[in-house]
A and B are shown apart, each in its own frame.
Chain A
């Protein structure tokens, strides 16, 4: 199972919006609405930000939103803040009843 494809890095200025893509295939991202997104600060465990494509867990800012079109899922962060600077990973259920993570995206706030 190959990792889902994410851009290595994305940057944006304070207050701007950024979007991170996550590309898979019809056997994972495109086949199921089980895409999740995780935020990871250096030296910390990942934190769930979005589940089932577009749902936000309690306590996660509404500035974070998720969507999916075909084999590509996306995470949008609006009103970028300094604390959003982190690594972000997508994940999907697969046809083999396994989980696969994305390659990871480093978000830099300018």
Chain B
């Protein structure tokens, strides 16, 4: 049973970089039929797609976050990562990593999520 687990600091200072990693267990991140993505949810608010990455390194990003976001993949360690630069309080959210089928556009498997708070 494939599982995803987010990890990283729960507190980040304003103007600094938020960094999270998603570890994939029970299956290979190098699957040719899947993309891997990040979605976030501010407290009490809705879901926001951040971006997705293929094992080859191909990426797709939200147009509103593209200038501040980098998603990378480490196939040797079966994990992928998210970096958000120049964070503000508006970036405070639960961050989820998830799996997407490459031939379509839905997320069929999600991590449990991790809360990141931006505060000094």
Contact = CB atoms under 8 A, between A and B. Distances in A.
- The answer to whether A and B assemble together is yes
Contact of A104 (B47, B96, B107): B47
Interface string B56-77: 0000111110000000000000
Interface string B92-119: 0000100000001111101111000000
Given A34-B106, A91-B106, A1 B62 contact: yes
A16 B46 CA distance: 26
B33 to A, nearest CB: 14
Nearest to B100: A99
A96 B63 contact: yes
Contacts of A103: 46
Most chain A CB neighbours (cut-off 10 Å) among B52, B61, B107, B108: B107
Contacts of B111: 45
B47 A89 contact: yes
B63 A1 contact: yes
B100 to A, nearest CB: 8
A91 B104 CA distance: 12
A102 B96 contact: no
Interface in A47-94: 47-48, 51-52, 57, 89, 91-93
Contacts of B108: 48, 51, 57
Most chain A CB neighbours (cut-off 10 Å) among B39, B104, B106, B108: B106
A3 B110 CA distance: 21
Contacts, number: 64
Given A51-B108, A52-B104, A57-B108, A38 B47 contact: yes
B95 to A, nearest CB: 11
Nearest to B4: A45
A1 B48 CA distance: 11
A103 B44 CA distance: 12
Nearest to A101: B47
Interface of B: 37, 39, 46-49, 52, 60-64, 96, 104-108, 110-113
13 contacts: A32-B105, A36-B107, A46-B107, A47-B110, A48-B108, A51-B106, A98-B61, A100-B49, A101-B39, A101-B48, A101-B49, A103-B46, A104-B46
